[in-house]
């Protein structure tokens, strides 16, 4: 390490260039690191949902829950399995051990669900597997209220707004809540069926046979290969109107001849109300690792732009907006950090003087920027745990710089050149400073091995403290001595004080006087 210290002081311009690059990289990392309310952690929870229309909760338990439970309990690493049966659905919450690889856990879970699928009723829908995450909660909810406006107009406005919002890269999903799904409803004319001698089964079978995706393959003509497309999927209302039910040499009976086809909505399964008024809401969730404040601001800009194309009678309201809370949280913690920084600087300057105080005080912003570079590279967000770790390390990161600077000032007072004094200080205090930092890091080390979800949540704190203190260690042993070697000023010290300090450092401890002078 002595060679590194000598090289850093001898090549001061290169060292200062590295310091400048660290500062620039830290500022860029601070601008790029996402802001979040809380740490984004992976929770080992999965929800398996199975739907079967018209089934009672008791039958759902027997026909849906039990076959799934038998297979899911065989999956390795399952800590707890909780099942809920309700009318028309069954939900199973699977909790894995905290140290389980979630990607492999999802693969094993899907294999178990595929194994259980043949044991479920053939009329049941395909099971749905969803991974739970802290990012699944909405960051803002947009409510569209249109009193006196047709439901279809509000629905169309919500659909258009959803498509625009989901185009934002940081938005994961804009889920519609409180709407009714659009359907094509065919009201069959029994008299028309009887006159054409068409049975209800024939009508249903015709609809099922024609609404299928048919892979027709390709044709190789010798000059090229062309894909063949068979238009067999019903895509709009006209396709349904013109669907042939029965054909003869004289005429073709279409669905429009035997039924009244119209666009309508399904029965409502969810409700959204704002101030007592019926609304259609969009619950916005963001992608993991994205900036919550930037995402919400972009969503609001799109909403304001979309208002111009909406009917004037449609009002837009925001609810569950997380941006003000995130902004106030960041501002308060940053204010606490700046206040603490100012107090520490005042104490250091008052105790050591302006020049030495500035050298020591620079270790605070440099250490923070050094930490932000690595936190951003590790994919961390700028959340309250990271800021609390910085606030916690604020009072500890100046210790090494104080020791090295004070020792160098004493050596300069003894007559040493400033370069030699700071080189001696960095070398002499290397192990004491490293040992002091290591003991502090050791105190936070157990938090790294805290098991379970609380451990994942608390892990941000020791990692932040580690990076901040390592940055302070690099500053006090390399960057600080270089700055001091360029700006240091040789001082004076009385021979009596010099002799006493040398006796403290190199003399016989048994000959030293006590606090009372005895």
pLDDT band at 455 (very low <50, low <70, confident <90, very high): confident
Domain boundaries, the chain: 2-37+325-511, 45-132, 136-181+268-321, 183-265
Q: Which residue has the tokens 């802001």?
A: 35
Say which residue the tokens 């018209």 belong to.
54
Q: Which of 23-27, 158-162, 184-188, 469-473 has the lowest mean pLDDT?
A: 184-188
Domains 45-132 and 136-181+268-321 fall in the same CATH topology: yes
Q: State pLDDT tens for residues 21-75.
A: 999 999 999 888 888 877 877 778 899 999 988 888 899 999 999 999 999 998 9
Measured CA angle at 92 (ends 89, 97), to 5 deg: 170
Q: Which CATH superfamily is domain 45-132 in?
A: Multidrug efflux transporter AcrB pore domain (3.30.70.1430)
Q: 517 falls in which pLDDT band (50, 70, 90)?
A: very low
pLDDT tens per residue across span 356-369:
888 888 888 899 99
pLDDT, position 511: 67
- Which CATH class for the 2-37+325-511 domain? mainly alpha
Please state the rounded mean pLDDT for residues 165-188: 85
User: Could you give the angle at the alpha carbon of 21 between the alpha carbons of 18 and 25, nearest 5°?
Assistant: 140
DSSP class of residue 168 equals S
Q: Please give the CATH architecture assigned to the domain spanning 136-181+268-321.
A: 2-Layer Sandwich (3.30)
Percent of the chain with pLDDT over 90: 23
Measuring CA to CA, how many Å separate 316 from each of 158, 448, 453, 472?
A: 10, 46, 38, 50
Residue 497: per-residue pLDDT: 58
pLDDT of residue 493: 56
Closest to 289 measured CA to CA, from 381, 417, 352: 381
Q: pLDDT class for 135, splitting at 50, 70, 90?
A: low
Pairwise CA distance, residues 102 & 83, whole Å? 20
Task: Find the range with the poorest average confidence among 57-61, 166-170, 451-455.
Answer: 451-455
Among residues 273, 87, 310, the alpha carbon closest in space to that of 178 is found at: 273
Q: How many CA atoms lie within 13 A of 148 on its CB side?
A: 4
CB 482 within 8 A of CB 15: yes
Task: Specify the pLDDT at position 302.
Answer: 93
In angstroms, the Cα distances linking 342 to 335, 399, 465 are 11, 16, 20
CB 188 within 8 A of CB 203: yes
**pTM, full prediction:** 0.69
The model's confidence at residue 112, banded by pLDDT at 50, 70 and 90, is: very high
Q: Residue 518: pLDDT band by 50, 70, 90 thresholds?
A: very low
What would the pLDDT profile of 70-95 be if each residue is shown by its tens digit? 999 989 888 889 999 988 899 999 98
Model pLDDT for residues 231-282, shown as the tens digit of each residue:
666 667 777 777 788 877 777 888 878 888 777 887 777 778 888 888 889 9
Range of lowest pLDDT (159-173, 254-268, 451-465): 254-268
Decide if pLDDT at 492 tops 60. no
Nearest Cα to 387, choosing from 424, 346, 332, 431? Answer: 332
| Mean pLDDT calculated for residue range 494-508 | 64
- Tell me the C-alpha distance between 419 and 12, whole Å: 10
Q: At 201, give phi and psi (nearest 5°).
A: -65, -40
| Confidence tier at 148 by pLDDT (50, 70, 90) | confident
pLDDT of res. 142:
92
pLDDT at 105 over 50: yes
Distance CA 324, CA 301 (A): 16
Q: What is the per-residue pLDDT across 399-422, written as a single tens digit (0 to 9) for each?
A: 888 899 888 888 887 778 888 888
Average pLDDT for 124-134: 83
| pLDDT for residue 509 | 67
CATH of domain 183-265: 3.30.2090.10
Mean pLDDT (whole number) for 178-199: 81
Report pLDDT for 232.
Answer: 65
Average per-residue pLDDT for the chain = 84
Confidence category of residue 516, pLDDT binned at 50, 70, 90: very low
């Amino acid at each position: 390490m002595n060679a590194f210290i000598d090289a850093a002081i001898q090549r001061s311009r290169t060292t200062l260039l590295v310091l400048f690059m660290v500062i620039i990289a830290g500022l860029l990392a601070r601008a790029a690191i996402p802001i979040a309310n809380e740490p984004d952690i992976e929770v080992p929870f999965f929800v398996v949902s199975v739907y079967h229309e018209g089934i009672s909760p008791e039958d759902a338990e027997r026909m849906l829950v039990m076959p799934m439970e038998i297979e899911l309990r065989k999956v390795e690493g399952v800590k707890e399995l909780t099942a809920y049966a309700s009318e028309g659905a069954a939900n199973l919450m699977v909790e894995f051990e905290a140290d389980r690889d979630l990607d492999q856990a999802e693969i094993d879970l899907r294999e178990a669900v595929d194994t259980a699928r043949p044991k479920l009723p053939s009329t049941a829908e395909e099971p749905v597997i969803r991974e739970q995450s802290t990012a699944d909660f909405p960051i803002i909810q947009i409510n569209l209220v249109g009193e006196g406006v047709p439901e279809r107009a509000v629905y169309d406005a919500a659909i258009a707004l959803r498509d625009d919002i989901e185009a934002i890269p940081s938005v994961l999903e804009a889920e519609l809540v409180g709407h009714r799904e659009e359907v094509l409803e065919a009201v069959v004319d029994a008299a028309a069926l009887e006159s054409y001698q068409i049975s209800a089964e024939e009508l249903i079978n015709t609809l099922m046979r024609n609404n299928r995706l048919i892979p027709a393959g390709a044709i190789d003509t010798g000059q090229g290969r062309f894909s063949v497309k068979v238009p067999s999927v019903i895509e709009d209302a006209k396709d349904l109107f013109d669907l042939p039910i029965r054909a003869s040499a004289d005429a073709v009976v279409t669905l429009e001849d035997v039924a009244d086809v119209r666009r309508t909505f399904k029965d409502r399964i969810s409700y959204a109300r704002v101030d007592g008024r019926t609304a259609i809401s969009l619950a916005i969730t963001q992608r993991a690792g994205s900036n919550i404040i930037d995402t919400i601001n972009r969503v609001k800009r799109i909403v304001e732009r979309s208002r111009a194309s909406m009917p004037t009678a449609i009002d837009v309201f925001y609810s569950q907006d997380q941006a003000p809370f995130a902004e106030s949280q960041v501002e308060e913690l940053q204010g606490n950090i700046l206040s603490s920084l100012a107090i520490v600087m005042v104490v250091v300057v008052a105790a050591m003087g302006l020049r030495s105080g500035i050298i020591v005080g620079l270790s605070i912003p440099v250490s923070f920027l050094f930490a932000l570079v690595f936190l951003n590279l590790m994919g961390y967000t700028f959340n309250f745990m990271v800021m609390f770790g910085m606030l916690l390390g604020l009072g500890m990161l100046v210790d090494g710089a104080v020791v090295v600077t004070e020792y160098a000032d004493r050596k300069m007072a003894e007559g040493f050149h400033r370069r030699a004094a700071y080189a001696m200080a960095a070398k002499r205090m290397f192990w004491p400073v490293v040992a002091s930092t290591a003991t502090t890091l050791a105190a936070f080390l157990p938090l790294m091995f805290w098991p379970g979800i609380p451990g994942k949540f608390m892990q941000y704190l020791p990692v932040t403290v580690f990076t901040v203190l390592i940055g302070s260690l690099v500053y006090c042993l390399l960057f600080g001595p270089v700055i001091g070697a360029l700006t240091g000023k040789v001082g004076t010290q009385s021979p009596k004080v010099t002799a006493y300090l040398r006796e403290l450092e190199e003399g016989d401890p048994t000959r030293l006087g006590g606090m009372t002078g005895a």
